[in-house]
Structure 1
């Protein structure tokens, strides 16, 4: 779980992934936060709008409908592969979904079948509405598919999440079909490959204003910082850099070496590391929280931290290395 991105952080993450982004009206303050909590956030939901045309679709997602107030998502992805930001905070897009699906997203595991609608998704998920009629005939241009891949990867990269943090509305809420025509496992594979590479960097910016509401049915459901490139390769074997002499009890735990983090390893430094990861929003621990014994929850949480800092592939395997350890600043339990 993680603290939601600010408007500036969201905008920077999307543009940092190489997307053209338009800011729609007062999107930074447009939300449903008065109707319920926003966060902690755990993932991204992809939808189709069931509309056609950019202006009408963007206007609808900003304003909503009489029975479903906007924003109906955080961003609209048009057929040309451009993103239109319409909300920042809680949005009417995910509705009630399956708590087991949410737990699988948190754990970054294979999704179970969505069978129940008992958990507030508007609190936990970012949402992207993609312009498509959803009739099984309306095509998905490659530019649009690429933008969906980039937009969802941008949020995952900013939070240190993997590709399993991205789901379709049809995988969250029973009875939903969106995004119809997109195979979610295929999209997640594309996201995974993108996250294994550095972000593309920003492109030219744009501003959009004055969109008007459209007439489509939409797919919303009613209420009831990106990491940059790493400074050096992340590896347990990374050589030490010259450092000045440390005090007797330094404020932070020195890097214990990658070989320390192995099955069966145990100690207060591991628990302290886990608590720092939770504080940074890189939390793959279940109900009991981080403990003193190295386990898979520690590894997954640390992998999220590595991805947050811009590491990829084998350099984001969850085994601490010197660079990311120093950035985490694990408190030394012996320091005064």
Structure 2
């Protein structure tokens, strides 16, 4: 389970990813939390605004209109690549969608084609409204696509999510067509490539010299089968140190490189801290809890 980012953490995550942020007055407390739940959050939905101009689009998404009160997203991404923060909390952007899609996003697997309207998406998704007419002809400048990639990666990195947590509005509900003009599969590939390296706020993706790829910031999930008594790896030690740092230690000695019962008990404490229970808190790492732990990359 993922609690929504606080305003300070959201701002820090975006800036760490090199996003050009514009903070609009009142964004930290503007929301629709009085109308329903906000969280746990599981992903990001990308939209197009069906509008033009940065100022007009920001005003529209901030204030909404008679049939749909604002805010209509947490942030507006304009054609110049600026991310305008206008709200923090529940926003009228996702509406009702398919619960099977939400379950796939939570599991970080490919989403099915949406065919129902049984789940409140406003409670569980951040929303980025991107300035575009949505007619299939209005261009998507490189700076805007780069900002979408960076902003989505920032939230995924902050929550320990993979790029599978980033979807388009049309992937949430069959009643929508946005975003129109670029492929969400391509955008997820861009986000995944960015997440595979450390955050670089001052350099565009791929600017490292040839032959010198940057190492990932966090250890990728090695799979549940990795965690057996036969495994001896510095990754286990790094994991244990993170569990100690999170106040989840069941160690009398160590942690060390060989997977042990103390590792399992410590990891079960971490799973319970995240809100898991029953068989989901058995002490065997899964992808969601592992990504949330943020184990430093270890060779």
With normalisation by structure 1, the TM-score equals 0.72
Instruction: Point out where structure 1 has 5 or more consecutive residues left out of the alignment.
Output: 204-227, 244-249, 262-266, 316-320, 322-336
| SS of match in other structure, 2:76 | strand
The answer for the alignment partner of 1:300 in structure 2 is 287
Deviation at 1:202, TM superposition (A): 6.5
Cα distance change, pair 268–96 in 1 and its aligned pair in 2 (3 A): farther
CA contact (8 A) 2:250 2:266 kept: no
Whole-Å Cα distance in 2 between the matches of residues 118 and 278 of structure 1?
A: 28
SS of 2:129's equivalent? Answer: strand
Give the 3-state SS of the residue equivalent to 2:286 in structure 1: helix
* Cα separation, 2, equivalents of 1:156 and 1:239: 23
C-alpha separation in 1, matches of 2:114 and 2:295: 33
Q: What per-residue deviation string (whole Å, max 9, x for no partner) do you get for residues 94-115 of structure 1? A: 0111111000000001111111
Q: Structure 1 residues 29 and 310, CA, compared in 2 at 3 Å: closer, same or farther? A: farther
Partner of 1:199: 199
Cα–Cα, structure 1 residues 229 and 237, in superposed 2: closer, same or farther, change >3 Å? closer
Correspondences of 1:119-134 after superposition (within 5 Å): 119-134=119-134
Task: Give, in angstroms, the shift of residue 25 of structure 1.
Answer: 1.4
Alignment RMSD (CA, Å): 3.0
Q: Per chain length, whose mean CA-contact separation is higher, i.e. which structure has more relative contact order (CA < 8 Å, sep 6+)? A: 1
* Cα separation, 1, equivalents of 2:182 and 2:9: 28
Instruction: Report deviation, 1:257.
Output: 4.7
1:42 corresponds to: 42
Instruction: Describe the shift of the 1:187–1:238 C-alpha distance in structure 2 as closer, same or farther (beyond 3 A).
Output: closer
Report whether the alignment pairs 1:276 with 2:270. yes
Q: Which residue of the partner structure matches residue 237 of structure 1? A: 234
Q: Secondary structure at the match of 2:148?
A: helix
Runs of 5+ consecutive residues of structure 2 not aligned to the other structure: 204-215, 223-231, 242-247
- Displacement of 1:16 in angstroms is 0.7
Deviation at 1:181, TM superposition (A): 1.4
Q: Report the number of matched residues.
A: 267
Could you say what secondary structure the match of 1:57 adopts? helix
* 8 Å Cα contact 2:23-2:85 kept in structure 1: yes
For the residues of structure 2 that align with 1:18 and 1:52, how far apart are their CA atoms?
24
**Alignment partners' CA distance in 2, 1:20 and 1:50:** 22
SS of the equivalent of 1:289 reads helix
What residue in structure 2 maps to residue 260 of structure 1? 259
Are the equivalent residues in 2 in contact too, given 1:68–1:92 (CA < 8 A)? yes
Aligned-pair distance for 1:288?
4.7
Distance in 1, Cα, partners of 2:288 & 2:254: 17
The answer to whether the aligner puts 1:111 opposite 2:100 as a matched pair is no
